[in-house]
Amino acid sequence: MSAAQQDLKIDGRRLWDSLMALARIGATPAGGVNRQALTDADRQARAQFTQWCEAAGCRVRTDAIGNLIARLPGQNDDLPAVMMGSHLDSQPTGGKFDGAYGVMAGLEVLRAIRESGRIPPRAVELAAWTNEEGTRFAPSMMGSAVYAGLLPLEEALAVVDADGVTVAEALRQAGVSPSGEDPGLPMAYFEAHIEQGPVLEAEGKPIGVVTAAQGQCWFRVSFQGQAAHAGSTPMNMRADALAAAARVVTALNEIGKAHAPGCATAGRMVVTPNSPNVIPGSVVLSAEMRHPDDAVRSAMESLFHEAVAAAAREHSVQVRTDKILEQPAAPFAAACMQAIRHSARQRQYPCLDIVSGAAHDAVALSRIVPSGMIFVPCAGGISHNEAESAEPDDLAAGCQVLCDSVLAFCHGDAAGR
């Protein structure tokens, strides 16, 4: 790290204040946020992001899927930029830090660079990716997947939410339309994020150097039985869609336990007619499996399909299984990891190599450019929860490492480390 880079310090208090100001948009009574993609709260957050970035001397452009990308010019603006990013959208009962930290940390880096009066050799960009969470519109990481060419734009725009609103319609309702020229792909991408797990806190390490993200697959499983009276239909004459779905939920749990450190989860279930004295006629179930080894995950998927078929036979129902996400495991770039480790050592922040159990926008970017992730601890490993919490000093440390890593790539001295 050059002396000039060493001198460039982020403002941890300003980072915290920005996070708290953003958390007021879509705030929930329990202390979290509800900023689902392309809702009014998300629109307000996007407007605030744009305002802050423009005040920091950036040009902000929007692409066709609604990704916001702020660009701080460099000495040679024709060179590929170094990009940072994360997301502003949240779970329905989300926390203040998931996604938002990465965006606000990136904003603080832009502010620190601008206030230093130094113009980096190349541009620095900050992306706020559309619909990372995938709660309103599945799949998750939609904006970054479209940007990386992993998901066709037309397919993403046609996705509908539970009310039948398409992504294209939601973008129009939010007043989002493409603007500005696309300068092309960055030379590298960095993302700061809370860990969303308990490892860093337990180890007493403020910085996680993310080496890879688990591969994952998502399914929508639709069970079709026969709605009937709960009191007058004999047990052996039922076609109970919920009973079949319950067997699959149990099987998923066992598959996950048997393939540690992998996970298997049924996260959402829609039951129809959802009446206490009617045998459920149909159920739509979400299922997902994750593992850092794609071969093991494939074996888990085979067991899942066997469980679905067995449940359908046992309970005399029809079943349809649709895969809605297939994401291979993602190793991160050695040069990016080295830049992160070097900064942590120089700043005397204890660090730990760690695999991400969750997927992030950095996974999509890693398919097209060298990418790296920086984790910081979160209290109790709790995330996707209104109780989500993180320490200001840890957040500031992660932001400083992000700043150092970005500048290392800007100045071209990362590769030889």
**Using CA atoms, how far apart are residues 275 and 182, in angstroms rounded to an integer?**
52
Position 6 scores a pLDDT of: 62
pLDDT greater than 80 at residue 131: yes
99 token code pair: 């996604």
Count of positions (residues) in the chain:
417
Q: Contact 108/101 with Cβ under 8 angstroms?
A: no
- At residue 176 the predicted structure's pLDDT band, cuts being 50, 70 and 90, is very high
Same-domain check for residues 288 and 152 = no
* Boundaries of domain holding 341: 3-213+329-410
In this structure, the answer to whether residues 236 and 182 fall within a common structural domain is: no
pLDDT of residue 413: 63
Same domain, 306 and 346: no
Domain boundary pick from 327, 350, 383: 327
Q: Tokens standing for 268?
A: 């959402």
Same domain, 48 and 65: yes
Q: What is the mean pLDDT of residues 124-152?
A: 96
Q: How many CB atoms lie within 10 A of CB 54?
A: 12
Quick one: average pLDDT of 223-237? Answer: 98
Residue 416 is predicted with a pLDDT of 38
Asked whether residue 242 is assigned to any structural domain, the reply reads: yes
Domain end among 274, 301, 327: 327
Cα 248 to Cα 221, 251, 315, 319, 322, distances in angstroms: 10, 5, 12, 11, 15
Q: 2 pLDDT band (50/70/90 cuts)?
A: low
Q: Is 101 among the domain residues?
A: yes
Q: Position 96: which residue type?
A: K
Whether residue 346 is found in the same domain as residue 268 = no
Residues 168 and 261 in one domain: no
Asked if pLDDT for residue 161 goes beyond 80, the answer is yes
- What is the count of structural domains for the chain? 2
Q: pTM for this structure?
A: 0.84
Residue 356 in any domain: the answer is yes
Q: Give domain status of residue 399, yes or no.
A: yes
Beta bridge pairs of residue 289 = 217, 264
User: Residue 415: inside a domain, yes or no?
Assistant: no
Cβ–Cβ < 8 Å for 11, 392: no
pLDDT higher than 50, residue 415: no
Same domain, 209 and 220: no
Give a yes or no: residue 416 inside a domain. Answer: no
Indicate if 121 and 9 belong to the same structural domain.
Answer: yes
At 414, the pLDDT band (50, 70, 90 cuts) reads: low
Residue among 140, 136, 133 nearest 167 (CA): 136
Are 24 and 165 in the same domain?
Answer: yes
Same domain, 126 and 268: no
Residue 7: pLDDT band (50, 70, 90) is confident
- Same domain flag for 279 and 397: no
Would you state the structure tokens that stand for residue 41, as one six-digit string?
A: 């709260």
CATH classification of the domain holding 205: 3.40.630.10
In this structure, the answer to whether residues 182 and 256 fall within a common structural domain is no
What is each CA distance from 98 to 12, 46, 110, 381, 401, in whole angstroms? 18, 16, 20, 12, 18
% of the chain residues with pLDDT over 70: 97
Beta strands in 262-348 (DSSP E): 263-265, 269-272, 278-279, 282-291, 318-327, 330-331
Kindly report the CATH number assigned to the domain that includes residue 235: 3.30.70.360
Domain stop point among 263, 293, 327: 327
Nearest to 64 by CA among 185, 177, 186: 177
Are 80 and 185 a contacting pair, CB within 8 Å? yes
In a domain, 417, yes or no: no
The confidence score (pLDDT) of residue 367 equals 95
pLDDT at position 329 over 90: yes
Q: For 52-96, what is each residue's pLDDT tens digit?
A: 999 999 999 999 999 999 999 999 999 999 999 999 999 999 999
